[in-house]
């Protein structure tokens, strides 16, 4: 197995450039098949989730050409498949965007229930409710979702019971070619929802209101190919901002949209960190101690749940008592059992975690419990005195491109090593 080995306690200094947003990329790639044409997607992150979702399109009959590291061309003119294989679907959450994309293109889809990080139950009832409202029959058998709309899709007025990024995206994908005006209320407002709407519009769709609570989509008969560049990754940028804060560093994060970083910047300022915003970069400097703060995660524009584990690693070092209330997921604190191995003092009660800041973290042998929990392990290891090792790094590599190169570029000591697999627990 592969692990990261980190020699911590080094102040990060220099600049890091972030890549394209993972959660926009994994929606925009399947959305491209709605065009039945050639789409060129730029500023893609080089992460495993992007290669898996691209492989799904290939399996369905699309031609996907890698033009450069961050650019692909998707030719879906000859794509005819409408069934996604279990093998690929189980690797990632976003495989379920093929439900909306295939339904929108062919009026039918068969997609196994998706994989992805485990944060407790992850229902898809709002996705299915949206598809049904557009006229699809929904079936679920042996873990495979089947959608069929033999008479085509018809616009409807849909009210989401919960604010869901995935359901908002899936219903957008299904309705761009549905006949009439679809109105979706109580939608998610994350930057990648707006990015997807811009991408769909660049293919000739008529999507309005993305970024507000109500999205209106007037169905069009045909879409066409496009060239589109994905927005920068808010969460990757935030992760490096917090790594700089945790190590008492001075790091400029480039290729960002400062507006997307506001809720993170404000928390860092509360914690005593200096934050300087420029047109498309942000500089983080910490030379004093860290102060405790509290965070409640919420759908956008609230503090992103995808930043809470990384924030916990910083709170572990902040003087006083900090807290995180998880407002999105039922159970997103599994990583805390690993964080305490560095010497962090943390307690979890239901959806609230509290941290009594310690002066120093110490190197530890830990595992990544999920993608962002893994990023928190990297931050803690960078800040800790001594050597740390992080197992199960495939979680981290689903979402962070060239993590080692980027961190080494700002003075971190982090390497990837192959070590023997641990003995099977059941072996005698």
The catalytic site residues sit at: 117
Least gap, CB of 126 to ligand EPU (angstroms):
3
Are 341 and 364 within 8 A, CB to CB? yes
Q: Rounded CA gap, 266 and 372, in Å? A: 20
| CB 262, min distance to ligand EPU, A | 16
- CB-neighbour burial class of residue 404 (10 A; exposed 0-12, middle 13-18, buried 19+): middle
State the nearest-atom distance from the C-beta of 221 to ligand EPU, in Å: 29
What is the distance in angstroms between the CA of the first residue and the CA of the last residue of the chain?
21
- CB–CB of 150/144 below 8 Å? no
Contact call for residue 164 and ligand EPU (CB under 6 A):
yes
Q: Of these, 231, 371, 381, 407, which contacts ligand EPU (CB under 6 A)? A: 371
Q: Which stretch binds ligand EPU (CB under 6 A): 60-68, 121-129, 135-143, 245-253?
A: 121-129
Among residues 218, 204, 103, 100, which one has the least CA distance to residue 155?
218
CB-based contact 153:136 (threshold 8 Å): yes
Within positions 327 to 346, which residues make up the interface with ligand EPU, using CB under 6 A? Answer: 328-329
Coil, helix or strand at residue 340: helix
Return the H-helix or E-strand segment holding 16: strand 13-17
261-300 footprint of ligand EPU as x/- string (CB under 6 A): ----------------------------------------
Q: How many residues touch ligand EPU (CB under 6 A)?
A: 24
CA nearest to 207, candidates 182, 234, 235: 182
Find, among 138, 80, 137, the residue nearest to 113 by Cα.
Answer: 138
Contact with ligand EPU (CB under 6 A): which of 26, 50, 88, 263?
26
Task: Specify the pairing of strand 214-218 against strand 250-254.
Answer: unpaired
- How far apart are the C-alpha atoms of 13 and 151, rounded to whole Å? 59
- Give the Cα separation of 8 and 189 in Å (integer): 37
Widest pairwise Cα distance in the chain: 65
Smallest gap from residue 284 Cβ to ligand EPU (A): 21
- 305 binds ligand EPU per the rule CB under 6 A: yes
Residue 162 or 269: which CB sits closer to ligand EPU? 162
- Of the pair 328, 378, the CB lying nearest ligand EPU is at 328
Other C-beta atoms closer than 10 Å to the C-beta of 309 total: 31
Q: Is 166 in the site for ligand EPU (CB under 6 A)?
A: yes
Site for ligand EPU in 77-96 (CB under 6 A): 93-94
Map residues 387-416 to x or -, x wherever contact with ligand EPU holds by CB under 6 A: ------------x-----------------
CA distance 155 to 44: 32
Nearest-approach distance from CB 23 to ligand EPU, in angstroms = 4
- Whether the Cβ atoms of residue 354 and residue 323 lie closer than 8 Å to each other: yes
Q: Are 407 and 243 in contact (CB under 8 A)?
A: yes
**What burial class does residue 58 get, using C-beta atoms within 10 Å of its C-beta: 0-12 exposed, 13-18 middle, 19+ buried?**
middle
Task: Name residues contacting ligand EPU, limited to 123-162 (CB under 6 A).
Answer: 123-127, 162
What backbone torsions phi and psi does residue 25 show, to the nearest 5 degrees? -60, -45
Q: Pick the piece of the chain touching ligand EPU (CB under 6 A) from 56-64, 83-91, 115-123, 259-267.
A: 115-123
Does position 175 bind ligand EPU by CB under 6 A?
A: no
Would you count residue 351 as binding ligand EPU (CB under 6 A)? no
Site for ligand EPU contains 306 (CB under 6 A): yes
**176/396 with CB nearer ligand EPU:** 396
Query: Minimum distance from CB of 60 to ligand EPU (Å)?
Result: 19
- 9 touching ligand EPU, by CB under 6 A: no
To ligand EPU, the closest distance from the beta carbon of 203 in angstroms equals 20
Span near ligand EPU by CB under 6 A; candidates 72-80, 120-128, 248-256, 317-325? 120-128
User: Would you say 331 or 415 has its CB closer to ligand EPU?
Assistant: 331
Residue placing its CB nearer to ligand EPU in the complex, 45 or 357: 45
- Residues near ligand EPU (CB under 6 A) are 23, 26, 93-94, 117, 122-127, 162, 164-167, 188, 305-306, 328-329, 371-372, 399
């Amino acid at each position: 197995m592969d692990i990261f080995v980190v020699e911590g306690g080094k102040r990060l200094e220099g600049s890091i450039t972030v890549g394209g947003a993972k959660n926009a990329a994994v929606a925009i790639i399947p959305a491209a098949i709605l065009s039945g044409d050639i789409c060129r997607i730029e500023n893609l992150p080089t992460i495993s989730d992007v290669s898996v979702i691209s492989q799904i399109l290939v399996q369905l009959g699309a031609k996907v050409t890698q033009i450069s590291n961050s650019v692909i061309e998707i030719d879906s003119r000859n794509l005819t498949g409408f069934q996604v294989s279990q093998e690929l679907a189980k690797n990632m959450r976003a495989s379920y965007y093929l439900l909306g994309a295939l339904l929108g293109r062919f009026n039918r889809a068969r997609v196994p229930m998706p994989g992805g990080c485990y944060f407790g139950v992850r229902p898809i009832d709002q996705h299915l409710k949206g598809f049904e409202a557009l006229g699809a029959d929904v079936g679920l058998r042996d873990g495979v979702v089947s959608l069929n709309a033999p008479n085509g899709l018809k616009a409807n007025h849909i009210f989401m019971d919960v604010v869901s990024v995935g359901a908002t995206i899936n219903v957008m994908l299904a309705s761009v070619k549905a006949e009439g005006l679809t109105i979706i209320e109580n939608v998610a407002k994350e930057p990648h929802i707006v990015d997807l709407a811009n991408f769909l519009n660049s293919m000739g769709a008529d999507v309005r209101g993305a970024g507000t609570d109500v999205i209106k989509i007037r169905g069009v008969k045909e879409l066409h190919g496009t060239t589109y560049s994905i927005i920068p990754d808010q969460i990757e940028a935030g992760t490096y901002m917090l790594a700089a804060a945790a190590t008492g560093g001075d790091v400029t994060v480039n290729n960002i949209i400062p507006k997307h970083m506001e809720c993170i910047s404000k928390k860092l300022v509360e914690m005593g960190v200096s934050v300087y915003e420029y047109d498309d970069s942000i500089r983080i400097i910490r030379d004093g101690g860290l102060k405790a703060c509290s965070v409640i995660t919420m759908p956008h524009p609230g503090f992103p749940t995808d930043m809470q584990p990384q924030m916990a690693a910083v709170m572990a070092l902040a003087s006083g008592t900090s807290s995180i209330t998880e407002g999105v997921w039922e159970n997103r604190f599994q990583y805390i059992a690993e964080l305490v191995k560095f010497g962090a003092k943390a307690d979890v009660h239901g959806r609230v975690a509290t941290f009594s800041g310690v002066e120093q973290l110490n190197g530890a042998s830990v595992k990544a419990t999920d993608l962002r929990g893994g990023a928190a392990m990297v931050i803690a290891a960078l800040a800790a005195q001594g050597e740390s090792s992080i197992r199960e790094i495939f979680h981290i590599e689903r979402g962070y491109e060239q993590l080692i190169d980027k961190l080494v570029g700002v003075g971190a000591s982090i390497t990837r090593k192959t070590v023997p697999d641990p003995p099977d627990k059941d072996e005698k």
